[in-house]
Structure 1
């Protein structure tokens, strides 16, 4: 199937807003008023903004202070209004996240793929993917998104790039903060935190818990956790910080629905999931880390990191209960230096990171089906284990060729090991594969003026398969035994061109990219679940595919008057064209999983007293639900509104957040099938209907 033309409704609205902003250009506006007021930003936020402006490609900086002026339930709220980022909730903590087509076909709530994720510059992602249960947004100060190959300096080689979630510390936290959120369908969230600087030592600690009944039947859940970090500066040249995250989640699962069900009864649960009382408890995940920084001199520093990550799972979704015991350890070392090379300013980064599964990373299955004579309840049916490691060595340089023209170059080497084994009921089902691969990068950035920058880069990305995919992609032998298979690394060559700047109509960002992907790792459900059998899901290397798209953002000051207030508009548009290249079976079909057009906007009024009010919208085009492109979801448009108040001293705030005002019935996420032959199959998770949420927060300073 060939790509269709852009959605007229979304582009028309975008053009209308741009025209409205341009009409105000004649009014006297200072450039400083276009940007976020610097006096309201911490020094770290400003530093992060300047650092991301120097990247030779697309980036996003997310200030959690702005996100916190409404409901903050999941990572979807954090990543809203970000160009190039598709993030939709599956009704619980798990979201479907895709950047430039990464993980487009993976089920929401599973281990994420295609985006390398860090907490405070330390690894969270490992050989098994990225688990979601440690993502508590209220623990964050900001988030930095480096799309595509722009996460190179972090050692990220994945197609989607990297996201670094930065925690609060004693330097940006209040001595005591209380926050309460409540709303529709039993939603309740409580948060208490404290942070202070005590001489050379600072600390931050937060306790958060949440509960909700869920939108669908049988979709209630709860979560509770703690985050803490403590830092110490021994002297101006040496500092260290220790981190802790621990969180438990428990989610009932409603399963996916057909498009007809979403249209007529979106709150229903999938009958199979309901009959099984399906759930996914996360008994408790722990992430412990340390980062120590040595400032060798004014122009160089050395950063050393160490992480321990334990994330067990208890999956009760199929006829068999699956217990998984994951744990891994990561180490990182980064050397950064500024100097002069051949008379030109130069910045060099040399980095190494390695993540390795510990020996207890494995799993066992137990039968749970009632009235099964061949395998009674409690019978052990299979034991298997996963092992993997990723090691990346990367070196990069930024060189100013002539004033304001910078050349970025780099090369990364990656060594991966993947092992999967089945030891019961029959021993010998094992696969072990070891691979070396490489990822070069070359880019240019030209600062035409302080208000205009253009850039381009050419890069290669590498993504190895997860160890568990070697088993899940395998056919059953003898009805019980599984023989693992080998999968190749997914690679892509990407060209990116873009520009960003400030003008009378606002701060804008525009990027275009084209990725030629080989051996793309695509997941597909080939058999739906029944009351007596589990769904069959496999992962395989695809024939060549193309990922190309446009990422655009515009923050505009539409009107303002001293003492009266200001009216502003922020917009984000993502065009995603992902398709096969002459596949023998599917031709040029679009890859299913996410919409081609995705648009978000918020029109907001801010009064000098601290009162604010806004209207927002989210629009998405149809989504193909199978690789044959035989059946799509319906496009949708959502409307929302919010009002709130922040005190002049910023010591307390309150807000009302209204979601989906028209109670639109729509598919929020899609888990693709192979070929549904035009039949409306249960592959979509419904988005939430109308909801009202209120919140209040108080900070003792």
Structure 2
């Protein structure tokens, strides 16, 4: 039985014919007037919009957090922003720590800082390593590879000023059209964080982390540089880690309205890898790792260097931004057990981008336009060797993996009245994948693939009260498979791109002491990338039709004020995500749940803040219902529900010195934080990764 995923008042075939036409019509009715009729525009522009020069303490190429918040809240869809102040008051070690309180995001560490799972609205659930389906950016510049795959361990949460989260096609701000959208980590500059800073942390599992930062604004120049070092023995056996990372940027202001900025980041990452475990092993002894991981010295070592430039020009009514980037990455990755290989990759990625934004008055109506183009190219020299004690043995495969992607996009917001904007967008993706087999002993597996798509978006935003909005949108997205899915076999390299259509309705705002962010969405997917078993082989395949739908609720409430002393407050913040991801009448998996993420996920914190500078309170992470690890939905192998209790406290001396203590999993609960997924799992399937046990971290930070 196949369910009809389209609302009852219109058939699916009719929707597929009419909705793109509606999007194009709305785009034409707004953007075309603004862009193609300059004479008419100039005649009707009764209230010219002028972009004023940026203050000297604000960079042009890297907007301040408040400016970024103002911009992002123009989006007619699910977005969020997390500032550094929200994460630096505790132990911010992974991307999970940054995104913990963003509803709709499921981010869980596998072990240490390695391979944090990042899934937004169910993106990339078939993988718990090398994420896909969400674009990772640094200062609006891609970190993910040209083929769409990527990792998060090169992101240092301590080297971030704020983080923007664009869910789904709301990431058209950066030209992305993916189910998961985009996450943009934005750097401090010498204008946003001038002065010196040192930070030192110690904690459980022999953890230690150090950071130094310096930022200066010297007339037209400014710079910011921050090196960090972290070490940990890890909660699990064979999970030692050493991370050395450097991030910095140098800006030069040509005048009040133009600035260029150079970015540089480098990482030297050494991470030992424990094995995934069976369910029974993970719950009985979560610290253990398989003997094969010691024998094969499994690890993941990355040496990376990334450089970029972004130049922005303010115009009378908007902004033009152009830039380019290049990145080099060496990966040495011995694996053992069922995959006895040493992965040895050398990778180059690069590209350029241009974006124009403009604000006009058309017939006394405000109109905002964005146009952009992105180009990404990459080449990976991928070799695999037999693993001999963690060293290279006999060569097993050798290939060049070439990716090129061009994105062209435009979005227009036309204000029919000052508080209501109609928004239309159109994005085109033109992607190329080429696999050159350089190891022909087992036959020539070379192939070429093209993945092209056109992805419209329509929406509306109603600012019905000061600081309060309603929004809705209907969007299309497309995800070409990365090489991690394409593989090297004839079965897998014929994969189609994953398509989705998402309908979203939501609200965000603030009233008095209460702030909220809520969204309801439903996505209809075709060709979702999933796993199937054929004989004794597991392959990636395109599922026919699947559904991703959910509810995202986030908010903060200042429940009490002036209880102990004047200007103190007690606040509650929470992020709840309801996720229903399932096959839709599949021939094999019927209407089974898509494995890999919990249906209910809650993060909440109660905090008391005193006017003198100290704060503290408990927090909880709650998964009230276990979830499946295979497409077959084997009930006996579901994860268990869990609740984790934490607590955080600190003191701000007011002279630049801050102290904190951060306790996690204080009841020492054994639980599964992250799973791999399979077509059909058994009791011997090693898919489970235990979460860390009880841990306490202390830290001090001083700025001057």
Superposition map of 1:325-364 within 5 A = 325-358=346-379, 361-364=380-383
The equivalent residue for 1:254 is 274
2:509 to 495, 501, 504: 501
Indicate yes or no: 2:495 matched with 1:487. yes
Kept after mapping to 2: 8 A contact 1:420/1:468 = no
Cα 1:493–1:175 change in 2 (3 A) is same
Residue 414 of structure 2 corresponds to 399
Q: Which residue of 2 aligns with 1:641?
A: 647
Offset at 1:237?
A: 2.6
Question: Does residue 574 of structure 1 match 2:577?
Answer: yes
Post-superposition shift, 1:138?
0.8
Deviation at 1:587, TM superposition (A): 0.5
Q: 2:131 aligned with 1:112, yes or no?
A: yes
Provide the rounded CA distance (Å) in 1 between the counterparts of 2:461 and 2:393. Answer: 61
C-alpha distance in 2 between matches for 1:294 and 1:383: 45
1:310 aligns with 2:334: no
Q: What is the deviation of 1:428? A: 2.8
Secondary structure at 1:261 match in 2: helix
Deviation (angstroms), 1:66: 2.0
Shift in Å, 1:325: 1.1
Residues 355 and 164 from structure 1, CA distance in 2 versus in 1: closer, same or farther, beyond 3 angstroms?
A: same
**1:149 CA drift (Å):** 1.2
**Structure 2 Cα separation of the partners of residues 459 and 473 of structure 1:** 33
- Please, what TM-score do these two structures have when normalized by structure 2? 0.87
**Are positions 1:389 and 2:397 aligned together?**
no
Q: 1:81 to 1:469 in 2, by over 3 A?
A: same
Tell me, yes or no, if structure 1 residue 449 matches structure 2 residue 462. no
Q: 1:505 to 1:300 in 2, by over 3 A?
A: closer
Using a 3 Å threshold, how does the CA distance of structure 1 residues 666 and 472 change in structure 2: closer, same or farther?
Answer: farther
Deviation at 1:468, TM superposition (A): 4.0
Per-residue deviation, 1:197: 0.5
Contact 1:392/1:415 (8 A) holds in 2: yes
Q: Work out the CA distance in 2 between the residues paired with 1:79 and 1:71.
A: 13
Give the 3-state SS of the residue equivalent to 2:64 in structure 1: helix
Contact 1:551–1:573 (8 Å) recurs in 2: yes
CA contact (8 A) 1:210 1:222 kept: yes
What does residue 289 of structure 1 align with?
A: 308
Partner in structure 1 of residue 661 of structure 2: 656
- The whole-number CA distance in structure 1 between the counterparts of 2:243 and 2:451 is 38
- Which moves more between the two structures, 458-467 or 270-279? 270-279
**2:600 paired residue number:** 597
Q: CA deviation at 1:119?
A: 0.7
After superposition, the Cα gap between the structure-2 partners of 1:587 and 1:523, relative to the gap in structure 1 and judged at 3 Å, is closer
Q: Spell out, residue by residue over 1:296-347, the C-alpha distance to the aligned partner (whole angstroms, 9 max, x if none).
A: x320221001010112211101322110111111100001111122331101
Question: Could you say what secondary structure the match of 1:425 adopts?
Answer: coil
Q: Does 1:699 align with 2:700?
A: no
Q: Residues 527 and 251 of structure 1: is their aligned pair in 2 closer, same or farther, counting only changes over 3 Å? A: farther
Report how far residue 502 of structure 1 moved.
1.8
CA distance, structure 1, for counterparts of residue 127 and residue 532 of structure 2 = 8
Q: Which residue of 443, 452, 455 corresponds with 1:436?
A: 452
Cα pair 1:55 1:150 within 8 Å, conserved: yes
- Shift in Å at residue 524 of structure 1? 6.6
Which of 620-629 and 588-597 deviates more?
620-629
Secondary structure of 2:192 counterpart: coil
Separation of aligned partners in 2, 1:285 and 1:111: 16
113 and 524 in structure 1: CA distance in 2 versus 1, 3 angstrom threshold: farther
Match of residue 344, structure 2, among 296, 300, 323: 323
Report the more deviating stretch, 138-147 or 418-427: 418-427
Cα distance in 1 for partners of 2:690, 2:659 equals: 29
1:555 matches 2:559: no
User: Pairwise mapping of residues 46-445 of structure 1 onto structure 2 (< 5 A)?
Assistant: 46-93=66-113, 94-107=115-128, 110-128=129-147, 129-282=149-302, 284-295=303-314, 297-318=315-336, 319-358=340-379, 361-369=380-388, 378-426=393-441, 428-445=444-461
State the number of aligned residues.
635
Counterparts of 1:537 and 1:65 in 2: how far apart (Å)? Answer: 45
The answer as to whether partners of 1:526 and 1:674 remain within 8 angstroms in 2 is: no
Within-5 A mapping of 1:607-686: 607-620=610-623, 621-630=625-634, 631-649=637-655, 651-677=656-682, 679=683, 681-686=685-690
- Structure 1: gaps spanning 5 or more residues: 3-40, 371-375, 476-483, 529-535
Change (3 A) 1:127 1:524: farther
Q: Alpha-carbon deviation of 1:176?
A: 1.3
Correspondence for 2:32:
none
TM-superposition CA deviations, 1:646-685 (whole Å, max 9, x none) = 1224x110011000011010000010011125x3632111
Contact in 1 for aligned 2:517/2:553 (Cα 8 Å)? yes
Taking the aligned partners of 1:525 and 1:640, their CA distance within structure 2 comes to 40
Instruction: Please report the RMSD computed on the Cα atoms of aligned residues, expressed in angstroms.
Output: 2.1
SS class of match (1:429): coil
Compute the displacement of 1:164 (Å).
0.8
CA offset digits 1:548-575 (Å, max 9, x no partner): 0000012001101152611000000001
* 3-state SS, counterpart of residue 569 of structure 1: strand
Q: Report the Cα offset of residue 467 of structure 1.
A: 2.7
Q: C-alpha offsets along residues 114-144 of structure 1, whole Å, 9 cap, x if unaligned? A: 1111111112223331233321111100000
Q: Which residue number corresponds to residue 43 of structure 2? A: none
Distance 1:520 1:191 in 2: 41
Q: For residue 18 of structure 2, what is the aligned residue in structure 1?
A: none
- Is the Cα–Cα contact under 8 Å of residues 121 and 550 in structure 2 kept in the other structure? yes
TM-score normalized by structure 1? 0.87
After superposition, give the CA deviation of every residue in 1:428-485 in whole Å (9 maximum; x if it has no partner): 321101132111000011111114311100000011011343225656xxxxxxxx62
Query: Do the aligned residues in 2 keep the contact of 1:64 with 1:140 (CA within 8 Å)?
Result: yes
How far the C-alpha of 1:261 sits from its partner, in A, is 1.8
Could you tell me how far apart the structure 2 residues matched to 1:369 and 1:192 are? 39
